[in-house]
With several copies, the nearest count.
Chain A
Amino acid sequence: MSDNNATIELKEITKDFKNTKVIDQLNLKVAAGEFLVLLGPSGCGKSTTLRMIAGLESVSNGEVLIDGDDLKKKANDGHTIAMVFQDYALYPNMTVYQNLEYALKVHKVAKDERQKRLESILETLNLSDYRDRLPSELSGGQKQRVALGRGMAKKSKIFLLDEPLSNIDVQLREKARDEIQSLHDRNKQTIVYVTHDQLEAMALGDRIAVMNDGIIQMVDTPENIYKNPTNLFVAKFIGTPQINVLPVWYQDGYLTMDETKLVKLDRINSIDPKDYLLGVRPEHIKVSKNSESEFSVPTKVTKIVDYGRYIQLTLDLNGQHVIKAVTKDIDCKIDDTVFIRIDERTSIIFDKDSQKNIYWDRV
């Protein structure tokens, strides 16, 4: 708790909408000054969660605590929370400067103070030249910056952002991302940021909460989420091209597929002999022209895409499985046979029924 930021705590939040649970008993703590990203596919409830934190959506059950105080019992004071919307929600009849100034003016912030704050924000966001333009005269990227600026002008303790980059050109997104990052570095507000773009989430979040079907699947740092996802959904949602998933059978220390031994498990040997799903990220598939070990498996190259920085191979295994591999340099042609190898260290093993990562709670 400080002047700059506040903690957020969601306690057993449930949200019903027309008799369906949109959010189901959700618990989440955001530390003061943390940058938390809510990540998930469309319709997973991430925007609803954000709107409940903002007080725009009522909570069917549970509590939203801001700095320990229940939001329901304390009306929004107009100061604590600022929010940036996906469509920016700029006031179309006001200039850039008036948009930034409006809430301050209504809440009787002194003119000198207003001017000082806004000049510095316009400066920071490179908007000084556009101060007298109407929103309709701005490009998408500029509108996005104005929306950001309007949120900043309030000097709120909590800053909520709802897919703020989804309406601007791909080329500009990287720059806008860096801007948001450096704002957080400077102001240290508590930020909750909603997005469906996993790269954005990885780049920005101190921690990421991956949501699906109204339930938080995993909350952790980007690194842990990538390397050690709790379940198959998280594993598939993060990373492009998607993680390879192969049906395997465990017995006597080996994972086998179609009678072929794929991986020798040394780290863990106390799992039941039964069907599992083996997840291997494309960059962890080791591709070579020759068989290099007893675990090398021959595959046929069906597609090669050179993205410049890396080469993506689509491989066919026995005509039954499609495997994507990412490598830096390999000299092969379509229809060549190449060998792949999978390492235990980079293998993620999921229970076939629960789709949970069986390693996860053992680490």
Chain B
Amino acid sequence: MNRKKNALWHLPLMIIGIIALLPVVFMISNSFKTLQESYQSILSLIPNKPTTINYTTLNHQVNLARLAWNTFFMATLVTLGKLFTGLLAAYAFRYYQFKHKNLIYLLFVATIFVPFTIVMIPNYLVIAKLNLLNSVIGVALPQLCDATGIMIFLKTMEKIPGSLFDSLKIDDIPNRRIFFNIVLPILKPSIISVGAMFFINSWNEYVWPTLILKDKSSFTLPLALQNYISSEGGTNFPLAMALSSIMIVVPLIIYLIFQRYILNSISNSGLK
């Protein structure tokens, strides 16, 4: 096999590399341009005169610390809730026999493919009825049924050899102990990676929180960003890019810390 053929195989990599990474570079670049330069040459990758003016302006206009805290609090709550229900549900699917188990599982997984657009309104109405509008609980509740988490945990549990449970059964170890002393510790890497994924996704979420959170004081970062963008075309484009750049920092840090776990676990499950 010669070098020419080799290069040919790199082509798709280069194309998707550009498609994947260009927007992020573009975003960071524009956040350091003046409003004027951004208008003139929005697609140039390197600012002529890099400036931090957008960041300082942003700091005056919104309470960044408050936004970050709100986002963090919401993401943490949603993550813990989803991990809790996901782990219990997966354990029930794995180790209990009940009627129509396969059908129920099939329906669970089906919910992954029901678009959010469709469940949005029913969910909104239920949350309103429950008087949970404008509350973080209201944001978290409909997300507790994340089938992705269940699937990943279930798959990891299935990798635990059956003989381990046979052994526990012969030793007459109660279920509660099996769950906490054996299953949870074994699942630790999965829990970390799924937790990180949940957290990042929740951190980035904006459609659903926009519907539920009306009060400015409980706004999260994506909601604030939405405000900058939604004014049709963006009155101040570099400002929006600056806020985007700030917003992306926390997921980036989490991703880098847990990358080893995330790379393993996502590709195992095969789902986002």
Contacts and interface: CB of A to CB of B under 8 A. Distances in A.
Interface of A: 51, 54-56, 76-78, 81-83, 85-89, 91-93, 102-103, 106-107, 154
A87 B171 contact: no
Contacts of A85: 163, 166-167
A83 B170 contact: yes
Majority secondary structure, A binding face = loop
26 contacts: A54-B166, A54-B170, A55-B170, A56-B169, A78-B170, A78-B171, A83-B170, A85-B163, A87-B161, A89-B164, A89-B166, A89-B167, A91-B164, A92-B186, A93-B185, A93-B186, A102-B171, A102-B173, A103-B171, A103-B173, A106-B171, A106-B173, A106-B174, A106-B177, A107-B171, A107-B172
A81 B177 contact: no
Interface residues of B, number: 17
A102 B181 contact: yes
Contacts of A82: 170
Nearest to A154: B171
Contacts, number: 52
Contact of A76 (B164, B172, B185): B172
Interface string B150-168: 0000000000010110110
A93 B172 contact: no
B188 to A, nearest CB: 8
Interface in B170-196: 170-174, 177, 181-182, 185-186, 188
Interface in B94-132: none
B172 A77 contact: yes
Going nearest first, the 8 A-B pairs with the smallest beta carbon separation are A78-B172, A93-B185, A89-B163, A103-B171, A85-B163, A89-B167, A89-B164, A56-B166
Nearest to B161: A87
Nearest to B166: A56
A89 B167 CA distance: 7
B95 to A, nearest CB: 14
A93 B164 CA distance: 12
